[in-house]
Amino acid sequence: MKKLKILFENNEKWVQRKIQQNPEYFKHLAKDQDPSYLWIGCSDSRVPANQIVGLEPGELVVHRNVANIFPHTDFNCLSVLEFAVNILKVSHIIVCGHYGCGGVKAAMEDHHLGLVDNWLRNIRDVYARNKQELDVIEDQKQRYNRLAELNVMQQVMNICHTTIVQEAWFNKQPLSIHGWIYDLESGRLRDLKCCFSDIEQVEPIYRVQIRSKD
């Protein structure tokens, strides 16, 4: 008996639906991809990237990890960024956090979960940097939600600090990095209005002097 039978049945139904709408659907999809967006989001099962923004397969490059973090030395993040920017030439990168994020909450608690504590250290750093603002928020849920927003903004900046983004800007490739937050309770996205699309918006200490290759 096939394991996880229901998932294979669902898959077959989905294939049939797609073929009914367009008999050439998979033939076209298999040929190439031309997405305009890269999504960096949380692994949380309640935040499915494509569904939230109504995009079809082939339209959105997706990278998800615990608490949508983009550490500047993470090869997984850097590899997907390089591929999306240099090869697929996406013009928008979206970092999308969400309210009620378990990763953000876990980062604020002092118990030992394991390896993930080292990953979540990135969020503790965001907290430390914004301690003054966060400590005056009395309601814990609101405080964690604000931290989720600040975490998004920090990851947006981390992406802007990479040589990959700065090289693209140097080469006049149109590229904007956006910070959004998703509200699990309403299903709505909110723009955190921290959009970066120019090297002038980056603090000088993080600017890399890129020289023309020719």
Known catalytic residues are 42, 44, 46, 98, 101
DSSP letters, 16-38, are HHHHHH-TTHHHHHHH-----EE
To the nearest whole angstrom, how small is the minimum distance from the Cβ of residue 63 to Co ion?
14
- Taking the least distance from each CB to Co ion, the nearer of 85 and 149 is 149
Q: 3-state class of 182 per DSSP?
A: strand
Rounded to 5°, the CA angle 160-45-126 comes to 35
- Phi and psi dihedrals of 93, rounded to 5? -120, 130
Using CB under 5 A as the binding rule, whether residue 42 contacts Co ion is answered as yes
Using CB under 5 A as the binding rule, whether residue 147 contacts Co ion is answered as no
Strands 37-42, 92-98: pairing is parallel
Q: Among the candidate windows 7-15, 37-45, 116-124, 185-193, which touches Co ion by CB under 5 A? A: 37-45
Distances (CA, A) of 26 to 10, 17, 32, 181: 17, 12, 11, 32
Tokens representing 1?
A: 């008996």
At 160, which amino acid appears? C
Using CB under 5 A as the binding rule, whether residue 149 contacts Co ion is answered as no
* Residue 147: Cβ-neighbour burial (10 angstroms; 0-12, 13-18, 19+): buried
- Taking the least distance from each CB to Co ion, the nearer of 44 and 85 is 44
To the nearest whole angstrom, how small is the minimum distance from the Cβ of residue 182 to Co ion?
9
Query: Quick one: which of 40, 77, 84, 101 contacts Co ion (CB under 5 A)?
Result: 101
- Taking the least distance from each CB to Co ion, the nearer of 107 and 134 is 107
Q: Among the candidate windows 73-81, 100-108, 131-139, 181-189, which touches Co ion by CB under 5 A? A: 100-108
Using CB under 5 A as the binding rule, whether residue 44 contacts Co ion is answered as yes
Q: Among the candidate windows 28-36, 93-101, 112-120, 135-143, which touches Co ion by CB under 5 A? A: 93-101
Binding positions for Co ion, rule: CB under 5 A: 42, 44, 101, 103
